[in-house]
Structure 1
């Protein structure tokens, strides 16, 4: 079952084409990361999913219906990048106010606990730190007990402890079967938490798959060590796609098969020190994909 379905969606603002023939399904119960550089169309796509805008053409369905339908909106939570929170109300009052907008909300205390805000529940929203304000935005997104949750750059402004607590809560919601659509510039968070990654650019989908699948398809691993091998000998090792040598014999090799390269290096009997093997990250894959000419899809 799909929680979100976009089919042949186009969205234009005057002469600016923000989305072009976008087709995208978000499966129920998964955490999907929607990634892309600034101007890729992510914000426009999410606006359509939330019913804040209408497509120029194509169809958008959320939880099986129109995003503007009351029965759909009552099961959707959203944590936008910027939230217009009443500054004079306390944290508890704010969460309680938003809870009244939903037919079957969580208790205020449950939402405060999910957002790790119980200790500042009596503080006015206008007196919160940046990270606390983001946690309050999360509490407001979950207090309606949503089936579908949008998280737009959720951990911006949070310190390390708050980020860890936030992801513990978000992963708990996913384990309960809720669908989460995430956008973030912290690609290590997407790599660690997402079941699926969709990369957009220029209003279209460039790639769609698991974090592991994207890393394997478009990026390479890196093997570093120090030895007396010259550049030609390094390039002759199996699976080497690129090689560099700096002063002191420091070799930096790119390969899609780091294990095979290390085995060949050990088997050659060449003396080396300082071996370091790193696999390609989601960030490597993202940069490789978005560096391609626009319109080229993986």
Structure 2
């Protein structure tokens, strides 16, 4: 998709949001192009939800500006450019799924056919069920159906699978993947790091109100060292061996009860060859760090810098 001739889906310029003495978002700038699937990660209190609330027009920045398709967020939302699936949302328990969708559709001057929306959201099979009798996954599918009604170009998802079991999470993301294939821009905040790895084109990591990393999962993990794990089968002290092999004490851990070693090093192949040729180990595995390691490393680094 060529996005150079069109405005970004979201343009955030030097945005700060304060609540009294608390700075929830601190001088954040971010551009998200149309068609991107972006995961917003960060520990609790990092500023993710506050940032998404400003993109949705629920609250205004204390400083800086936000545009959604080159419009103020409230206008973009009112004109149907934005759909949202939030952690919680006011649903009327005594209405059925179908009644809820039809009622909300009647509030919009233009909307997609209700039957099409129900099919795409995967709620047709239980459209006659009352909301209060629906599972958590079914309620999230209802929220997704409501978000799709105006055929929005941008979907904002804030912890959309929180509290869902593994099957419901997979079903939800299969549906999201289909929407991404349609070219829809999707921005989602999640604490399930695997979701970012599996579904996002781009990951933005926030901590203490600031962006500390922005790129693909491969970008985030490229600089991390691999880990070598094995069972130690020699009478030689592994820590003494490590000193002779140029492995520092902070790179190696040894569980003497299980006779397991783990070495974190950029030279896993060379170290593995030395260990194997000397007959010191067996059951060797080499682990490439993933998004979890990148997340913990980068959040820890940013906290150390802040302190």
TM-score (norm 1): 0.90
Answer whether contact 2:212 2:298 (CA < 8 A) is retained.
Answer: yes
Question: 1:234 deviation in Å?
Answer: 3.5
After TM superposition, the structure 1 stretch with the greater mean CA deviation from structure 2, 131-140 or 121-130, is: 131-140
1:46 paired with 2:52, answer yes
TM-aligned CA distance change 1:145 to 1:226, over 3 Å: same
Question: 1:94 deviation in Å?
Answer: 0.9
Answer whether contact 1:74 1:103 (CA < 8 A) is retained.
Answer: no
Q: Distance in 2 between matches of 1:262 and 1:141?
A: 52
Answer whether contact 1:62 1:72 (CA < 8 A) is retained.
Answer: no
Q: Distance in 2 between matches of 1:163 and 1:71?
A: 26
Per-residue displacement from partner, 1:181-206 (whole Å, max 9, x unpaired)?
01011111111111111111111111
Q: Distance in 2 between matches of 1:188 and 1:257?
A: 27
Give me the CA root mean square deviation: 2.3
> Which of 83, 95, 101 is 1:95 aligned to?
101
1:113 paired with 2:119, answer yes
1:254 paired with 2:254, answer no
> Which of 215, 219, 238 is 1:213 aligned to?
219
Q: What's 1:77 paired with?
A: 83
Question: 1:244 deviation in Å?
Answer: 1.5
Q: What's 1:193 paired with?
A: 199
Answer whether contact 2:26 2:209 (CA < 8 A) is retained.
Answer: yes
TM-aligned CA distance change 1:73 to 1:245, over 3 Å: same
Q: What's 2:242 paired with?
A: 234
After TM superposition, the structure 1 stretch with the greater mean CA deviation from structure 2, 105-114 or 288-297, is: 288-297
Q: Distance in 1 between matches of 2:217 and 2:247?
A: 22
Q: Distance in 2 between matches of 1:202 and 1:71?
A: 28
Secondary structure of 1:213's aligned partner: helix
1:204 paired with 2:213, answer no
Gaps of 5+ in 1: none
TM-aligned CA distance change 1:192 to 1:260, over 3 Å: farther
Q: Distance in 2 between matches of 1:293 and 1:71?
A: 34
Answer whether contact 1:131 1:156 (CA < 8 A) is retained.
Answer: no
Question: 1:263 deviation in Å?
Answer: 4.4
After TM superposition, the structure 1 stretch with the greater mean CA deviation from structure 2, 140-149 or 180-189, is: 140-149
Q: Distance in 1 between matches of 2:108 and 2:177?
A: 23
Question: 1:226 deviation in Å?
Answer: 1.5
